[in-house]
Each structure stands twice: as C-alpha cells, then as structure tokens.
Structure 1
Amino acid sequence: MKKFVLLLGSASLALSFTTAASAQVVSEASDAVADDDAIVVTGEREYLYREEDTDALGFDIPLAEVPATVNVITEDFLEDVRAYDVEDVLTYVPGVITGGFSGGTSTTFLVRGFENTATYFNGLRQFRSISQTPSLDNIARVEIVKGPAGAEFGVADAGGILNFVTLKPEREFSAEAFAGVGDFGYRRIGSDVTGPINHDGSLRYRVIGAYSERAEWRDGRPDETPRWTIAPSIAWDYAPDGNLLIEYQHTYSDEPLDRGIFYIEGAEFLTGEDNFAPRTFSQMQSANVQESHVDRFDIRLSQDLGANFGIDLAYQRIVEDGFEFQAQFARIRDLYDADGLTYNGSTAPVPYGGSRDEETKRTIDNISAVMRGEFEIGITEHKIRLGYQRSDAIFAADFRGNGGVGRRIITNTLDIFNPDNDQELTFDGRNNNLSFTNSQDVESFFAQWSGNFGDRLRIVAGLRHDQADFFTRFDTTDGVGTPSPNVSEEISFRVAGSYDLTDRLTAFAGYSDSYTPQSGTTADLEPIEALHNISYEVGLKAELFSDRVLWTNTVYQITQNNIAAVDPNDETNMFQILFGEVRIRGFESEFVGAVTNTLDVSAGVALQESKNVRTEDAAVEDNEFFGVPNYQLSAFANYRLADLGLPDLAVRTGVIHVGDREGNAENNFELPAFTRVDFGLRYTLNSQTDFDLFVENLFDEIYYEQTQGRSRPENGIIPGDRRLVQFNVTHRF
C-alpha cells in the first residue's frame, strides 16, 4: 500500500510538472506560428481496431496487401477490453490461445497450435521471463505474425511470433491520468504525458507511470500482488533526414506462481461431475513470493544516406533481477491409481515435495544494424534490407540453502479436502546449494527484398543465416557440473506474394522455412538437431464498408520435425532422442474495423486439425496436440449510441468460445468447451473524462484456460477468471 500511495503522489507530481511545462511550450509555439498551425488539444478520441500498415515482414506494407497473415491488436482494443495483461486480450485473436507454463506468471501462448517460447520488443528477441508478463501500460500495439517467421526475426517458433511495439513520444501535447478499482483487490492508477520539448517539436518526450494490482480470488494467493511501471522516452529529429530515439522502462512485480488445479476421476464428492477440482482450490501457500525487477533500455538511430538509401541502428539491453520463494509440489499424485487418472480412495493429507528458494538474474544484449535502400527498374519498384543482428542472453539462478535437487524439503502436509493455504512452513534441515546457468547467443546475417510489379503484384523474399550457441550447466556443492553446449547453424527463408484481384480484393500465398535450436545431447554426446518448421499458406483479403474493415481469410499447413524427447533407454533422463514429426492444418478468418462511424468490431474464427504424424511412442501416435481446440470463435464490438441520441455513451460486448481440447499428449482426458461473455459501458463527460464499467465473464462461467499436459494431471490446469467487475476513470488534459 505504501508503494501505491508513493506512486500516486509521484505520478500526480510528474503529471502536474509536465502538464505545466508542455502548456508553456505550446503557448510559446502558438505565438511563433500562424493561427491555423497552432497546436489544438481537442480531447476527442476515436476507437479504431484496424491498423492500416505493418512492417512485420521488414517493409512498411498496407495490411490489406501484405502477403502473410498478420494480426494487430491496437492500443484502442487493449483499452476497450480492459486488459490487465496480454493473456486477457490474445484469446480474441483467431488461432491464438493461452498456453500452460507450469502455472508461472510469464507469458506463454499457443499460436496455430505451437507453443510460443520467445517474444519480441520493437522487433528484438526477448529471453522469456519466468516471473513477469509484459506490462501493457507502455504498449502501442501487439503484432502476431503467423507461421514460421525465422527470415524476419531469427530464432522463431513454428506457429508464429508476438512483437510488442512500445508507445513513442509525439509532437503534439497530450496527457491523461487514470485510476480504477474492482473486485477482489483490483486497483490501477497512473498517467501518460507526451509532447514537444522545443518549439518545432523536433525534440519531444513521453513519460508513463502506472501501478496496479490484479484481482486475487483463488486460495493460496497473497492479498496484494503489486506491479508498477515507469517508462520515460525521448525522440530527437537531429536533422531532416535523421532521428534518435531513447527509451527506458522499469517494471517491478510480485506475482507468485500458481500451479492451478488438478483433474481426477472417481472423486465426485471432491471434484463434482466434471472431475476437476474446484476453481478456487490451490496447493500453493499465501507466504509465497516472486519478486522481479526488469529494466529495459533501448536506443535507436535512423539516418537517410541520400534519397534512396539509409541505415538503422539499434541497441537494447534488458536486465531482470528476481527473488523467488515457493512452497510447491504437494504430492497430489498420491491420490491417483496406477492409471494416473483414477482416485485411489486415499483421504490422508499429502506431503509437500519441497520449496523453491532462489535468486535469479537475466541479461539480454541485442544489437541490430540494417542497411536499407529502394530503387526503380522500369515500372517496377524495389526495396532491400541487408542486416546483422546479435542477441546474447544469459540466465543464472542460485538455489540457496537447499537440499535434494536444489530444494529444501518441507515437512508440512496439505489436506486436499480441507486445504490450509496459510501455514507456517517447517523444513527438515538439509543444506546444499545448486546453481544453474543457461546462455543463448544468436548471431544473424540476413537479406530481404520487396518488389512491386505494377500496381497489383508484389513479392517479398527473405534469407537469413543464424548461428545459435546454447549452453546449460548445473553446479552443486559437490562440484562444477558438466556443461551441455549446443551449437547450430541454420538458414531460414520466406517467399510470398500478393496480387490485387480487384481494387478491394487481394489474394496472397507464402512459403516459409525456419529452425528453432534445441538444448541437450544424445547418449553419444551428439548435440540435438534444431527443430525444422515448414509452413504453407494461401488466403484472400477484402476491404469492406468503404475500406474501413479488413476481412482476412487464410488456409495453412505447418509441419515440425526433429522433435526431441527423453531417451527411453536412459535411466538418468539426461539424454534425448529425435523421435517424430507433427502437423497442423487450419483455416482462420478475421474481420476487423469500423462497420459504421459508431460501431467498431473485431471478430474471428479458427478451425484447426492437429496430429502427431510420426513418433517413436505408440501412446501418442496419431494423437492431437494437447490444449489446442479444433475450433475457436471470438467477437468484440464497441457501439457508440450517437444514433440513439446518446453520443457520450458507448456499449461494449465481447464473446469468446473455445472448443474441447485434449488434456495431455496421451489424449485420455479433455478440457471442456466454454463460452465467456464480457460487457462494458463507457460514458464520456465533456470529451475529456471517461467513466468506464467493465465486467469480465459476465455470466460467471466456470472454464479452464489451459493445461500443462501432464500424463498424470495432478496440477497445471489453469482455471479461467470468475466474474470480475471493475470501474475505471480516465481524464485527458
């Protein structure tokens, strides 16, 4: 609470200072220019879900013409769905669903059926955090590039990548302050101020500060899970053909891990008829802590070299310091019969397996240097990008004062039928240490080309060479562990094209081929080969309702081979084998934009068919992917009631339907289908102040977002949020 009050005071002070300073700049600027050039702050705000252009494939291309499936979540959409974090909004994107990362608080998603293991900030790769999701307070949009995007982004996943684009300083002054309260301890407060520093706006700033606490309604959770962000940035047009951008962001959070609930058959007195534990159940303890400080520093320079060429340079450094204490792994497995699904009748309390007590540090250094150019040959227009990128990431963890495999053994037990989540923990006294080091260094050279052949045909091609050096080592008090290096050199490429069948209808097709490095070795100490990802897609894009709406339809197939698994002949579980190939086929349709001047819509549908095509494990041969629905529907609409004589009132409604999903690789239990409805009202007073009421899960549907896919589902099933009500106020200056 002290941090809440401190940030409130700091934000208010910063807002007052920057508002006064910017107002003075605006006033002075207006005296120096003609009246029709003066800066005017209207306070009006449009709600637009459609982005016009994207540079996700390396070149600035209209979304209606880009020869790939690219979904863009705009800042307006993020605000309208009242997203606390990105998990709240991505299920509205066809073909994307929340993943199951052991109940951790990091970001993990399934994109076209494949786990997304890395995200990107402003186009540069991140080393996935275990303890923190990206703060949305400083996000302008989220881009989802579907299919293997190795030619553009380097090491990438088979289903697609997520790229977070941050808010930038603007030439015109604007400022807003916001605050919110809601069920189960939800609260939010902050401000966003941007504007010119000098008279012509060539030097400008932005300062964002925010504090929030999510709604905590599950047992075993702390009363407060704070997160705060401060993000200043400066942009400088130092010449007519050159600019410099400097960004800094610090985010603190304390959101402990949540292992979710379990599934067990034959214990209806505990689970009810659906065999899932109550959604409020938790094996975690309220004393758990997972603190994380993340600092991100970006500097970017763009300089034109004459009329047709230029250079773009970028450096990004991310440092995460974390501390974690978790009482975890209550041995719920003791309740299962030999089949791993059925209740064995035991009513005895189950012991805890141990605790996780560690300090962590992650450091990422990204550099990028790109030479760009454009030229014409006859009636054809060409753009090129030649570049070099390097990403050096290291993660180190020290498990302090631990026994066994890096854990102190807890002597407490948990009564599953009447759990006590507020216990004073006791330990058995064993005392050893474990250190873990993992590094991921990737060096890349790439070339990209875009060609326009007349007004209707355009082609994009990219080629990239990546050398990935992955390294893992465990050290204990008994000595330094044996390192497990893995070096791979691979080439990724993309060829795609689009053709305008009419002025408003575009056909596109693409092929992409990429690799994802894997850690580990075979029993012969040979490094495991990289995953090989191949994607085909074809589609149609149509601009409707006077070009305000973009309707994208795509058919695709993705295959992935060189999948690694634990060697069944290795009793130590240290070695791996390459055992198979998987495939997913699907259809996606997205309809997004302004149907009328008062109605904005984002809707989508995804149909998916997944299959283990070839494996060495008969138990999963021909099975579907776990956690991947065969169908997914979503729609979100914002209707401003101006046509009904209420121009200051807007109604928002969202519907998400997700079909049945297999619960694990063996396909022997399912997560049931669900439908969630969200609802919101916004009233705007004097074009400056918004009063916003939003209800997530209006009908309080009990549903399960995802599963970790365990053969014995003793934990890792993540229940969706119950009905949550929040009220927010935003004032623009």
Structure 2
Amino acid sequence: MPTLRFPRKTALLPVCLAASFAGSPLMAQEQLEDQSQGSAAEPVELQSVEITASADASADGLTQPYAGEQVARGGRVGILGNRDYMETPFTSTSYTSQLIQDQQARSVSDIVQNDPSVRVARGYGNMQELYVVRGFPLYSDDISYNGLYGLLPRQYVAAEFIERAEVFRGASAFLNGAAPGGTGLGGAINLLPKRAPNESLTRMTFGASSGGQGTVAADLGRRFGEQNQFGVRLNAAKRAGETGVEDEDQTLDMFALGLDYQGDRLRLSADIGHQYHFLDNPRPSVTPNGGIPSAPDADDNFAQPWTYSKEKQTFGTFRAEYDFADSITGWAAAGVRDGEEQNRLSNPRATSDGSTTASRFDNHRKDRVYTGEIGMRFRVQTGTVSHEIVTSAAMHDFEEKNAFTFFGPVIGNIHDPFAAPLPTTVTFPGGDLSDPKRTEQVSTQSLAIADTLGFLDDRLQVTLGARRQGIETRSYAPVTGDRIDRYDAYETTPVAGIVYQLNNDLSVYANYIEGLTKGDTATATANNLPVLNAGTSLAPYVAKQTEIGLKYDGGNLGGSIAVFSTERPFGIVENQVFREGGEQRNRGIELSVFGEPVYGTRLLGGLTLLDAEQRKTLNGANDGNDAIGVPKVQANLGGEWDVPGVQGLTLTSLVIHTGKQYASAGNDLRLPSWTRFDLGARYRMTIDDRDVTLRARLDNATGRDYWASAGGYPGSNYLVLGAPRTLSVSATVDF
C-alpha cells in the first residue's frame, strides 16, 4: 500500500490542539467577521507551519482531526501504524485532546462514554474502571500507552495524561499482541501521551464540581533548538474533595513529563508519569441475592465509613524510530511500571428489599511490569503491486504480589444505610498484609509479520499476516508462596483484511482476525464465598472474529456501519469451584457518525445492536440465554451548537441509552433500560490578550436513579449504581 505521509507543511490546528483554541470553529468565525465583516459561513484558512512533534515518535505525526475536531481521521492500528480510517479494514475511533478538554473529562471512562460500542463498568470487588467493548470486558490493566501494555495506573487513569484516546473495535491479537490481563477480546484502547506543540504553551485550569471537589491543573510545553527539534511537555494536576456521591471523597495527584527529539531520520520520545489516587468511603458494587433491589438514590452512599481504596503508580517509557532509507523504518520501545495498592472494602450482597450482608476485605498488592517491542517496516513495489511489510517482536513480563484477609460479618441496607462496626474476626486469611508474597507471574513473547498489498493504484488493499504468541503463567499461594498452578501455551493468530475504495466517499471492507488472552485465574472469592481452587488458571482463550462493513467520508460528515461476530470461551464459579463454563458468541451491528455537517454544528455518536448468546454451557442449562451484562441496544448522540449572534458561546448535549441487561446466566434477573442526558456550555473569550475558556457541564441532568451495569468479571453479576446529577465548572487560561 502507499506510504501514508502528511505534508511537512500543514495547518497549525492539527498540530497544536493542546496549545491553542485558535483553530476552533468559533475562533475561525471571529477571524472571518474581523476580516470580511460578513457571516462566518466558511472557516478561515490557518497559517501553515512545519510539523516538529509527534505523540508517537513517527515521521508522519498524529493523524489529522476530522471536521468538528472531536475525532481524528484515523489512528494507530497496532503494528500496522497510523492509518486513515478509509484505508483500514477495521473500525476504530480516535478521540482528540479538544474533545477531552471541552468535555472536562476526568478519566478514560469520561472519554469513551462517547462511543456507542463501549459501556463503563467496574472491576470485581474493587474500584477499577472497566470498559465493555462489543459486549466483552476490557480491564484498565489491558489498555495500552503509546502501543505498550501494562504501563498505566491500573485502577484509574487521569485524563491529564492523555493527548488522544484510540478505541479499536474487535479482536486484535495480531495487531497488538495478547492483552496480559486476560481481556480485550472485544476491542482495545490505546492512549497517546502529550508532546510539546510548536508554539509555547502555558495553561492553567481551575475547576469545581458537585459535592465541593476542586481541581487545579497545569500544562506547560516548550520546544528548543535551532529547528525546534527538542520538546518538553509537563502536566500536573490535583483533585480533592467530596464527589457528587454523599461522603465519598477523592484525592488525585498526577505528574507527567514528556520529552521528544525530532531529527531528519531519528525520532526519540520518553515519558515519566506518577499518579496517587485515594478514595475514602467509595460506594461499592452490589451483588444481587435472590432478586434485584430497586436502585437507591443516585447520590446516596451505602459504603461503610471505614472503607477506602489507595494506589500509587509510577511508570516510564522510551521509544525510538529511525529511517534507514526512504522505504525502510525501524523502531524500538520499552517501558516499566511499579505500582502499589492498599484497600479496605466491603462489597455487599443485597436481597430484593435492600438488606445486605458483606465481609470486610483488606488487601495489599504490588505490581512490577517490564515490556518492550522492536520492529521494522519496508515499502516495496513489485510491478503494479505495492507492499508494506511489517515485522515485530514483543515481550511483556508482569509480577504481582498480593495479600488479603476477610473479616466478618457486616450487616447493612442500601436503602437505609448505617455504619456497622469494623469487623475484627478473621474469616479467611490470605497472606501477610505487611509483606505480600508473589501470587502471579505472566510472561508473553510474540513474533509478528504482515504484508499489506496494494492493487489498482492502491484503491484495493489486502492485509495478510500472523503472530506467534507465547503465554507463560505461574500462580502462587498467597500464604506460603508455593506454586500452585502453571502453564506454557503457544498460539498462532492470523489476520486477513481487505478494503476497497469504491470512490472518494465510500470504502467497503472485511476482516477475519482472532483474539488471544491468558485464561482467567480463579479469584479468592466469588459471591462473597471462598473459591476452593483459588489461583487456578484456565487455558488461554482464543476468540474468532469475522466482520464486514462500509465507511463513508463526505468531507464534513463521516461514519461507518459494521456487522460482526465474535466467539470466545468463558469461565464460571459453580459450587465454589472455578472452571470453564461454555462459550459466548456476540453478534452485532454498529453504526457510527461524526463530523460537522453544518458549520457550527457538530455531531458524534452512533448505535450498537448486540446479541450476546451463551452456548455449550454445562448440560445445556443456559444455552441460548443472553450473557450477563450485555444489553441488546446501546446508543449515543452528542451534539454541539455554536450560538449565532453570541460570539464564543457553544451549547452541548449528550444522550446515552443502554437497553435492558440480564444479571444472571439463567436470565431470571434483569436490569431495566436507562437513558442519561448530559447538558453543557462553554464560552471562549480574550482577556488582556489571554485566551480564556469557561466551561460548565451537568451530567445526568434529569437526576435518573439506575443500575448502570451488571458484572464485568466472568460468572459475576454485581451491580454498579449510576452516577448522580453532577455539575462541573472550570476555567482555562492560556498565558
């Protein structure tokens, strides 16, 4: 296929989203009015500058924003590199820094809530953000940072780390390698770090939200050298105070330093990040016990006052890319993370009337991750056929130390919360909390090769490839440190994709690709009962996906429609024993739309229809039933409108609809559908030659009380209450 090169001279807007709002439709409108004293019917052409920075250390830089600047024209497609979405036999969406800022996103979940194929849930028994993509879970452990797994804080990732969030829909074992945490069979999320823009950046943001939580953030960027080849980007933020949930306090401290060098042939980048995240009285998930209780008030908190969740994470990455020739490029990347978590939690089981029983769960966990990748890309021509050949080798090594102890009992009621005394009677010990022992080691290694062939002047492109993946898992007893389970497994996961550009506006595509993850590992407990074979790991999972679709690019409005089917085995806990439980087949249709169809009016959203069917279950008991926590309908529609006659004012809205979902494998427990409305506004102005942006956002504007999700961990059906009506306001000043 042809080399995807953007011109060295291009608009300032795509390069400097984080540095300036000068390229927004509103600012363009102001320039037009100043120059022509007429209407702002067409955006003004911005001055061209030379690209000198890239978030991913590639020669071409980031893919350009699409009309409306909320999403980009494409993004990273694993080892295939950056691709325009019209020339890719897969579907993905890359959410830009402008969307992240304008929506006052606090974490990854606030960004991906814009995606109709993604729903946000929670990890099992903890406060971890969990994303359900095409009906399959994706742990925050398994999102990647600039192409590398396992480096980001595992429970919560602050939005201040992120330049772009790329959501890839579908299995991706060939493209990205097996996700080390055991998820990602329905899709992947890759986060890009921030880099210094061409123009000096000094930005401060001050914010507050319901409950009294305050935020202050600094974003500084500079470039140095005769050709601005050296870049430094510094981000720091602090959030503290009560959230919209009563008596739930959050403290967040983050720091990120991004360095880069952009030479003629050599490009280097490095990142160092640290995050401290503390939740006091975090509202827990609820496991139904015989029936589903009605949803409490969304701002109520039924957490015990002695519960908390605390984590500290530090990570670093390095990436290099070198052009050996115009048609040969090599790259290398490496990263390391050191993390520590301490929790005291109490996740209840609730009857239909709201009364609960629970245990006190204390744990202390330490993680260490090493990861790396090297690769080469060749571009050659054989007759009338172009080739882009890519090969890579990757490794990931993860060690977990963990200790936990259960105390009990704890009695409560989610509709009439009251403080229970701190239990001190040990019901299930799991190691020394002051000195946790090694409990799991996971190592992966892989080799991949692919060729993208271009025919008919590259209007027809065919991608063929395979990845040979090895997964080594060791499980250890938390009390003694003795090894209790191990396996070494190797799988070859192929890929075949084809995309044909019917004309400038339409592309049709199809793919076959597989997903691969390590098998699930039995947790210490399930449904508040000990698991008798805790620590046992199932064999690696292979998911098989087929997909066909159509993509549209009308210049100002783009979109796609896809039909897909994915199959994967799953594990369950039965009679307190963890084992393989059958197969889940997710079939669906996705429709997405984005852009600025009318100047000053932007749209972003879509529709996902899912049929998640259980098959091959024990004795056929649940064959044909819907999978836990997968709604049949997911719909999103976001809109922005620049108010005519009020220069700088934009009104925004977002509607999220999630259909009914089952909370039991037998489909006898069901959550009702829910719809959430978010409203917002922003106003941009200049004060003393400084750009100032004021933003306000009201989430869950109608104050809906609802259970947002069910489950997320295999065989579990815990419920997470939706967030309350929350008002967030902020002021951003560029100095």
Q: Following the alignment from structure 2 to structure 1, what is the Cα–Cα distance between the partners of residues 285 and 427?
A: 28
| Partner of residue 389, structure 1 | 394
| Partner of residue 49, structure 1 | 70
Amino acid at match of 1:196: R
Structure with the higher fraction of residues in strand conformation: 2
Q: Following the alignment from structure 1 to structure 2, what is the Cα–Cα distance between the partners of residues 415 and 494?
A: 51
Amino acid at match of 2:76: D
Query: Is 2:295 the partner of 1:298?
Result: no
**Any idea what the Cα deviations from partners look like across 1:118-147, whole Å, max 9, x if unmatched?**
2111111127866x2111102111112111
Q: Following the alignment from structure 1 to structure 2, what is the Cα–Cα distance between the partners of residues 294 and 620?
A: 41
Q: Following the alignment from structure 1 to structure 2, what is the Cα–Cα distance between the partners of residues 429 and 723?
A: 39
Query: Is 2:369 the partner of 1:364?
Result: yes
Query: Is 2:99 the partner of 1:77?
Result: yes
**Any idea what the Cα deviations from partners look like across 1:508-559, whole Å, max 9, x if unmatched?**
1111123222156999x99743212111111111112xx1221111111111
Please report how far the alpha carbon of residue 490 of structure 1 lies from its aligned counterpart in structure 2 after TM superposition: 0.5
* Alignment CA distance shift 1:323-1:500 (3 Å): same
- Counterparts of 1:552-571 in structure 2, within 5 Å, are 552-561=560-569, 563-566=570-573
Q: Following the alignment from structure 2 to structure 1, what is the Cα–Cα distance between the partners of residues 430 and 136?
A: 35
Does structure 2 conserve the Cα–Cα contact (< 8 Å) formed by 1:261 and 1:276?
Answer: no
Q: Following the alignment from structure 1 to structure 2, what is the Cα–Cα distance between the partners of residues 128 and 204?
A: 22
Please report how far the alpha carbon of residue 104 of structure 1 lies from its aligned counterpart in structure 2 after TM superposition: 2.6
Amino acid at match of 2:397: D
Query: Is 2:457 the partner of 1:467?
Result: no
* Alignment CA distance shift 1:549-1:429 (3 Å): closer
Amino acid at match of 2:239: S
Q: 1:140 aligns with which of 125, 140, 163?
A: 163
| Partner of residue 540, structure 2 | 530
| Partner of residue 491, structure 2 | 490
| Partner of residue 670, structure 2 | 670
Does structure 1 conserve the Cα–Cα contact (< 8 Å) formed by 2:642 and 2:651?
Answer: yes
| Partner of residue 517, structure 2 | 516
Does structure 2 conserve the Cα–Cα contact (< 8 Å) formed by 1:411 and 1:427?
Answer: no
Q: Following the alignment from structure 2 to structure 1, what is the Cα–Cα distance between the partners of residues 715 and 299?
A: 20
| Partner of residue 4, structure 2 | none
Q: 1:62 aligns with which of 63, 69, 84?
A: 84
Please report how far the alpha carbon of residue 702 of structure 1 lies from its aligned counterpart in structure 2 after TM superposition: 1.6
| Partner of residue 223, structure 2 | 196
Does structure 2 conserve the Cα–Cα contact (< 8 Å) formed by 1:491 and 1:514?
Answer: no
Is the partner of 2:115 in helix, strand or coil?
coil
Does structure 1 conserve the Cα–Cα contact (< 8 Å) formed by 2:590 and 2:606?
Answer: yes
Is the partner of 1:194 in helix, strand or coil?
strand
- Counterparts of 1:265-664 in structure 2, within 5 Å, are 275-280=294-299, 282-326=301-345, 328-330=346-348, 332=349, 336=351, 352-356=358-362, 358-399=363-404, 406-407=405-406, 409-410=407-408, 413-414=411-412, 418-421=416-419, 425-428=422-425, 434=431, 435=437, 437-453=439-455, 454-476=457-479, 479-519=480-520, 528-544=538-554, 547-561=555-569, 563-566=570-573, 573=577, 576=579, 578-641=580-643, 644-664=644-664
Does structure 1 conserve the Cα–Cα contact (< 8 Å) formed by 2:200 and 2:223?
Answer: yes
* Alignment CA distance shift 1:51-1:250 (3 Å): same
Q: Following the alignment from structure 1 to structure 2, what is the Cα–Cα distance between the partners of residues 196 and 129?
A: 28
| Partner of residue 166, structure 1 | 193
Q: Following the alignment from structure 1 to structure 2, what is the Cα–Cα distance between the partners of residues 215 and 601?
A: 33
Please report how far the alpha carbon of residue 230 of structure 1 lies from its aligned counterpart in structure 2 after TM superposition: 0.8
Does structure 2 conserve the Cα–Cα contact (< 8 Å) formed by 1:558 and 1:585?
Answer: yes
Is the partner of 1:79 in helix, strand or coil?
helix
Q: Following the alignment from structure 2 to structure 1, what is the Cα–Cα distance between the partners of residues 241 and 252?
A: 9
Does structure 1 conserve the Cα–Cα contact (< 8 Å) formed by 2:151 and 2:335?
Answer: no
Is the partner of 1:287 in helix, strand or coil?
coil
Amino acid at match of 1:456: R
Q: Percent identity?
A: 18
Is the partner of 2:110 in helix, strand or coil?
helix
- Which ranges in structure 1 are unaligned for 5 or more consecutive residues? 1-17, 20-34, 40-44, 337-341, 400-405
Is the partner of 1:177 in helix, strand or coil?
strand
Does structure 1 conserve the Cα–Cα contact (< 8 Å) formed by 2:299 and 2:724?
Answer: no
- More divergent stretch after superposition (133-142 vs 374-383): 374-383
Structure whose CA Rg is larger: 1
Please report how far the alpha carbon of residue 472 of structure 1 lies from its aligned counterpart in structure 2 after TM superposition: 1.2
Does structure 2 conserve the Cα–Cα contact (< 8 Å) formed by 1:47 and 1:76?
Answer: no
* Alignment CA distance shift 1:308-1:316 (3 Å): same
Q: Following the alignment from structure 1 to structure 2, what is the Cα–Cα distance between the partners of residues 251 and 496?
A: 39
* Alignment CA distance shift 1:692-1:276 (3 Å): closer
* Alignment CA distance shift 1:247-1:600 (3 Å): same
**Any idea what the Cα deviations from partners look like across 1:387-422, whole Å, max 9, x if unmatched?**
1110001111134xxxxxx32x2466436664323x
* Alignment CA distance shift 1:227-1:648 (3 Å): same
Normalising by structure 1, what TM-score?
0.82
Q: In angstroms, what is the RMSD of aligned CA positions? A: 3.2
Amino acid at match of 1:53: G
* Alignment CA distance shift 1:265-1:579 (3 Å): closer
| Partner of residue 43, structure 2 | none
Is the partner of 1:702 in helix, strand or coil?
coil
* Alignment CA distance shift 1:519-1:426 (3 Å): closer
Please report how far the alpha carbon of residue 310 of structure 1 lies from its aligned counterpart in structure 2 after TM superposition: 2.0
Q: Following the alignment from structure 1 to structure 2, what is the Cα–Cα distance between the partners of residues 93 and 606?
A: 10
Please report how far the alpha carbon of residue 282 of structure 1 lies from its aligned counterpart in structure 2 after TM superposition: 4.6
* Alignment CA distance shift 1:303-1:688 (3 Å): same
**Any idea what the Cα deviations from partners look like across 1:615-658, whole Å, max 9, x if unmatched?**
115442211012111111111112112xx222211111111111
Q: Following the alignment from structure 1 to structure 2, what is the Cα–Cα distance between the partners of residues 585 and 351?
A: 37
Does structure 2 conserve the Cα–Cα contact (< 8 Å) formed by 1:312 and 1:370?
Answer: yes
Is the partner of 1:305 in helix, strand or coil?
strand
Normalising by structure 2, what TM-score?
0.82
Q: Following the alignment from structure 2 to structure 1, what is the Cα–Cα distance between the partners of residues 719 and 162?
A: 29
Q: Following the alignment from structure 2 to structure 1, what is the Cα–Cα distance between the partners of residues 295 and 49?
A: 63
Q: How many positions carry a matched residue from both structures?
A: 650
**Any idea what the Cα deviations from partners look like across 1:4-55, whole Å, max 9, x if unmatched?**
xxxxxxxxxxxxxx99xxxxxxxxxxxxxxx99899xxxxx99512312323
| Partner of residue 211, structure 1 | 238
Does structure 2 conserve the Cα–Cα contact (< 8 Å) formed by 1:486 and 1:520?
Answer: no
Please report how far the alpha carbon of residue 462 of structure 1 lies from its aligned counterpart in structure 2 after TM superposition: 2.5
Q: Following the alignment from structure 1 to structure 2, what is the Cα–Cα distance between the partners of residues 657 and 318?
A: 37
**Any idea what the Cα deviations from partners look like across 1:678-726, whole Å, max 9, x if unmatched?**
111111112710111111111111222111279999x831111111111
Does structure 1 conserve the Cα–Cα contact (< 8 Å) formed by 2:137 and 2:713?
Answer: no
Please report how far the alpha carbon of residue 233 of structure 1 lies from its aligned counterpart in structure 2 after TM superposition: 1.5
Q: Following the alignment from structure 2 to structure 1, what is the Cα–Cα distance between the partners of residues 654 and 298?
A: 23
Amino acid at match of 2:335: Q
Does structure 2 conserve the Cα–Cα contact (< 8 Å) formed by 1:106 and 1:128?
Answer: no
Amino acid at match of 1:232: L
Does structure 2 conserve the Cα–Cα contact (< 8 Å) formed by 1:639 and 1:651?
Answer: yes
Is the partner of 1:151 in helix, strand or coil?
helix
Amino acid at match of 2:250: T
- More divergent stretch after superposition (47-56 vs 444-453): 47-56
**Any idea what the Cα deviations from partners look like across 1:180-213, whole Å, max 9, x if unmatched?**
0121123211111112122320111101111124
